[in-house]
Amino acid sequence: MKLTSGNVAMRIFYFTWPMLLGNVFLQLYNVIDSIIVGRYIGKAALAGMVASTQVAMVVVALVVGIGVGGTVVVAQYFGARSYRKVQQASDTVTLFMLAMSLALGGVGMLLGDHILDLIQLPEEARCYAKPYLSVYFGGMVTMFGYSATSSVLRGVGDSKTPLYALIIATVANVALDLLFILVFGLGTGSVALATVISHGLAWLFVVAYARRREHLPSFNLLRAKFSYPVFRQAISIGLPSGIQQTFVAVGMAALFGIINTFGVDVAAGYGAATRIDMFAMLPAMNFAAALSTFTGQNLGAGKLQRVKKGLYATLAMSGVVCVAISLLIVALRRPLIGLFTDAANEAVIDVGAQYLAIVCSFYVIFSSMFVLNGLHRGAGASLFPMLTTLLSLWIVRIPVACFLSHNDRLGYPGTFWAVPIAWGVGLAMAIIYYFSGRWKSKALVNSHKPDAGAESPATA
């Protein structure tokens, strides 16, 4: 989909909804896994599995962030109609992601136990975390393969194909979870195996679909060529985002370490609440991702005023959705947490419900911050969002969480209050940077003229 013409709000909305729906299905992986594990294995297994996902993100976040840079490069070249460069970027991002999946999978298997030590996971939950991590890291190539191909497709404006793939994969994941746990009586390692297999199916579907469409880049590993100039461009945009993602993952693991000191009930309740939390954040995150592509294409085409209109339209749409979600989740917080455990675990439900009541009330702040940073990333100014995130997390959220959680009157809920406080600081910084106008000079290309002899992405 070309986003350089037509009604601004409708273009962004129609590009967002398939991506949003796809990520809803992607998050269903984690939610359904957590529900099945929490209900049929127990709260210690739930705490262990949620901790495992935090550990995994520490290892993979850098590459995921660099993949975001690849999407921006693809979007800007696509907006400028430089189709040969689009194909080069596609090949480069795919090859890099696959190579790193193998390297990081090995590193993760070696360091997983050490990270579990650092986050002070209760001993009764560790036996569930270790097999999950081993299988997850061992099968990481399927997750990175899908991520690479879907990132390229979103860069050229195709957000529907990854959606179809995720629908298929989510159904497969649910079926495999139920088969492995309820029928075969396997443990948390089988849950990770279901995720690996399901991502493999999603990857195969996306590649097969793209290779049958002439207007899409060709995902042919035998013909793929790594381009160092394109890779440097992707790194220049994606590395700050990757560093940001890594420090966020480490920060979230550190916060989980604070939570773990309060015992399994608090860890399980917090873990269940963060699963709901991720669902609630999806609209803001996907509107921001759509705005990044929109910004990349329109800056590539030299349409700055259209970029600004896109920002205001996205802020309005995302804000309305986030307010509605906040009201709904706060009203239903106890039944939602109850999905992850049985009624006998009242302490787990109390913790999760308290988290949602505090954090969900401030989603509109998170939404505005994320959308503004989405524009900055799409413009190529990814260094500032990185600094914003790191400062709000490491200078604000973690210290505030440590301080408030040790307050005799607050205890562990102090960790929850640190979340909206950090969002407020991050939003203030994003607003200041936007009005400074510095992001306007970061575009890789600023002309919509095509390359000489440009051809379609499929034949480049």
pLDDT category of residue 216 using cuts at 50, 70 and 90: low
pLDDT for the residue 456: 44
More reliable by pLDDT, 451 or 237: 237
pLDDT category of residue 454 using cuts at 50, 70 and 90: very low
Helix, strand, coil share (%) of the chain residues, nearest 5: 80, 0, 20
Range from 36-45, 112-121, 280-289, 418-427 that averages highest in pLDDT: 418-427
Whether residue 277 is predicted with pLDDT greater than 70 in this model: the reply is yes
The first and second tokens of residue 323, run together, are 């307010």
How far apart, in whole angstroms, are the C-alpha atoms of residue 228 and residue 133? 33
Q: What are phi and psi of 7, to 5 degrees?
A: -60, 125
The DSSP 8-state label assigned to residue 82 in this structure reads: -
Task: Tell me which residue of 55, 3, 14 sits closest to 317, measured CA to CA.
Answer: 14
pLDDT for the residue 1: 66
pLDDT category of residue 455 using cuts at 50, 70 and 90: very low
The reported pTM is 0.74
How far apart, in whole angstroms, are the C-alpha atoms of residue 55 and residue 338? 25
Share the mean pLDDT of the chain: 85
pLDDT category of residue 200 using cuts at 50, 70 and 90: very high
pLDDT for the residue 204: 93
Q: Region 405-418: what's the mean pLDDT?
A: 89
Q: Region 190-207: what's the mean pLDDT?
A: 92
How far apart, in whole angstroms, are the C-alpha atoms of residue 221 and residue 211? 12
pLDDT for the residue 453: 38
CA 228 to each of CA 17, 50, 95, 235, 455: distance values in angstroms, whole numbers, following the listed order: 34, 37, 12, 10, 21
pLDDT for the residue 442: 65
pLDDT for the residue 416: 93
How far apart, in whole angstroms, are the C-alpha atoms of residue 408 and residue 405? 8
Task: Tell me which residue of 358, 422, 356, 416 sits closest to 394, measured CA to CA.
Answer: 422
Whether residue 409 is predicted with pLDDT greater than 80 in this model: the reply is yes
How far apart, in whole angstroms, are the C-alpha atoms of residue 434 and residue 370? 12
pLDDT for the residue 214: 64
Task: Tell me which residue of 83, 89, 98, 11 sits closest to 293, measured CA to CA.
Answer: 11
Place of tokens 């002309």: 447
How far apart, in whole angstroms, are the C-alpha atoms of residue 4 and residue 12? 11
More reliable by pLDDT, 117 or 331: 331
More reliable by pLDDT, 17 or 216: 17
How far apart, in whole angstroms, are the C-alpha atoms of residue 460 and residue 221? 14
How far apart, in whole angstroms, are the C-alpha atoms of residue 337 and residue 271? 10
The first and second tokens of residue 114, run together, are 């050490």
The first and second tokens of residue 49, run together, are 């599995």
HSE toward the beta carbon, residue 6, CA cutoff 13 A: 12
Task: Tell me which residue of 209, 218, 38, 58 sits closest to 133, measured CA to CA.
Answer: 58
Whether residue 280 is predicted with pLDDT greater than 70 in this model: the reply is yes
Least confident of 147-156, 216-225, 275-284, 423-432: 216-225
How far apart, in whole angstroms, are the C-alpha atoms of residue 349 and residue 46? 13
pLDDT for the residue 104: 87
Q: Categorise residue 168: left if φ over 0, alpha if ψ from -120 to 50, beta otherwise.
A: alpha
The first and second tokens of residue 345, run together, are 């675990």
Q: Domain spans of the chain?
A: 8-441
Amino acid in the structure at residue 297: Q
The first and second tokens of residue 48, run together, are 């262990």
pLDDT for the residue 58: 77
Percent of the chain with pLDDT over 70: 94
Least confident of 79-93, 184-198, 276-290, 392-406: 79-93
Contact 394, 251 (CB under 8 A): yes
pLDDT category of residue 444 using cuts at 50, 70 and 90: low
pLDDT for the residue 66: 75
pLDDT category of residue 450 using cuts at 50, 70 and 90: very low
pLDDT for the residue 199: 92
In this predicted model, what pLDDT tens digit does every residue of 35-50 receive, in sequence order? 889 888 888 898 888 8
Q: Which residues contact 174 (CB under 8 A, 6 or more apart)?
A: 28, 32
Distance between first and last Cα of the chain = 19
Q: Region 93-105: what's the mean pLDDT?
A: 89
Place of tokens 């963060």: 274
pLDDT for the residue 353: 95
Whether residue 215 is predicted with pLDDT greater than 70 in this model: the reply is no
